């Protein structure tokens, strides 16, 4: 919502979500109110995430848009679930052919911090079970096997750590997956000339929306005449591009290359 509200008026916006499959929630529109309504009413969480399929579907949406104005804002942890229909390499090639800048707000760092905090809370306690009156024990947990009026309060160590090995294993696997996906997301953003943002708190995540919309509103299109004409290039050929400044200390963010389209 923050990204959409801070974009310049007149920008055409489409909204997609992806879990087990990509889904177009809002086709291209300049009406921010319509986009806001979709974000408030149609977003659903899923148990899986097929990023490759989503990137391919997003690339298809850009086919009828003008080159030089294509931006993809991706909000994800980038963790890919098995069973997708598209290979990531093919999706990235398809997206590159659209010459879209990819701006990524990743919650990988935020997710890992949440897991670490959850584990640190779970490890507190001495592992000793204590009986007591529920009125005098704010974390009392009822146990139907005990006499009426009696409660048993287990240590967090017993409840969340020692007896939940499978959950701890899943959390560790997810943490490792976010580190791998983060590297992949960085590469996707840098290749396209966009950027990846890695907030470690909800407040920072919301605040970064301004940075994304500012980038979208301040992009320039630079053209050049290649030494080897595109007419002689093979369809699908990848050409590297480097944009540099004569001013010392000035960093320019630009796409690293492009794929020659099939039809010239």
Chunked mean pLDDT (size 10), the chain, 264 residues: 91 93 94 95 85 94 87 93 87 89 93 80 50 44 45 45 71 91 93 92 86 87 85 85 89 86 61
Q: Is 151 in the same domain as 258?
A: no
Structural domain count of the chain:
2
Q: Is 131 in the same domain as 249?
A: no
Q: Is 18 in the same domain as 90?
A: yes
Supply the pLDDT for residue 121.
55
Supply the pLDDT for residue 118.
74
Residue by residue, what is the 3-state secondary structure of the chain? Answer: CHHHHCCCCCCCEEEEEECCCEEEEEEEECCHHHHHHHHHHCCCCCCCCCHHHHHHHHHHHCCCCCCCCCEEEEEECCCCCCCCCCCHHHHHHHHHHCCCEEEEEECHHHHHHHHHHHHHHHCCCCCCCEEECCCCCCCCCCCCCCCCCCEEECCHHHHHHHCCHHHHHHHHHHHHHHHHHHHHHHHHHHHHCCEEECCCCHHHHHHCHHHHHHHHHCCCCCCCCCCCCHHHCCCCCEEECCCCCCCCCCCCCCCCEEECCCCC
Q: Is 73 in the same domain as 143?
A: yes
Q: Is 125 in the same domain as 231?
A: no
Supply the pLDDT for residue 39.
93
Q: Is 216 in the same domain as 230?
A: no
Q: Is 193 in the same domain as 230?
A: no
Q: Is 233 in the same domain as 214?
A: no
Q: Is 172 in the same domain as 131?
A: yes
Give the global pTM: 0.76
Supply the pLDDT for residue 224.
86
Q: Is 136 in the same domain as 213?
A: yes
Q: Is 216 in the same domain as 227?
A: no
What CATH number does the domain containing 148 carry? 3.40.50.410
Domain range enclosing 253? 222-264
Supply the pLDDT for residue 154.
44
Supply the pLDDT for residue 18.
92
Q: Is 147 in the same domain as 232?
A: no
């Amino acid at each position: 919502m923050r990204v959409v509200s801070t974009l310049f008026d007149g920008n055409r916006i489409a909204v997609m979500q992806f879990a087990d499959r990509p889904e177009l929630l809002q086709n291209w529109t300049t009406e921010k109110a319509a986009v806001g309504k979709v974000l408030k009413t149609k977003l659903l969480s899923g148990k899986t995430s097929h990023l490759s399929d989503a990137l391919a579907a997003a690339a298809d949406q850009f086919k009828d848009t003008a080159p030089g104005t294509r931006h993809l804002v991706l909000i994800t942890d980038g963790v890919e679930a098995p069973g997708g229909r598209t290979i990531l390499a093919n999706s990235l090639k398809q997206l590159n052919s659209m010459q879209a800048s990819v701006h990524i707000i990743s919650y990988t760092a935020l997710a890992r911090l949440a897991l670490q905090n959850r584990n640190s809370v779970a490890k507190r306690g001495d592992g000793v079970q204590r009986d007591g009156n529920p009125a005098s024990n704010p974390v009392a947990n009822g146990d139907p096997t005990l006499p009426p009026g009696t409660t048993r309060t287990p240590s967090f160590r017993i409840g969340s750590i020692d007896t939940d090995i499978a959950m701890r294993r899943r959390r560790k696997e997810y943490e490792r997956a976010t580190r791998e996906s983060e590297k992949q997301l960085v590469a996707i953003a840098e290749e396209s000339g966009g950027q990846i943002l890695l907030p470690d708190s909800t407040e920072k995540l919301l605040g970064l929306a301004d940075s994304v919309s500012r980038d979208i509103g301040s992009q320039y299109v630079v053209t050049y005449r290649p030494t080897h004409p595109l007419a002689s290039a093979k369809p699908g050929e990848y050409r590297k591009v480097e944009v540099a400044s004569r001013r010392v200390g000035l960093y320019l963010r630009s796409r690293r290359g492009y794929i020659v389209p099939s039809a010239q």
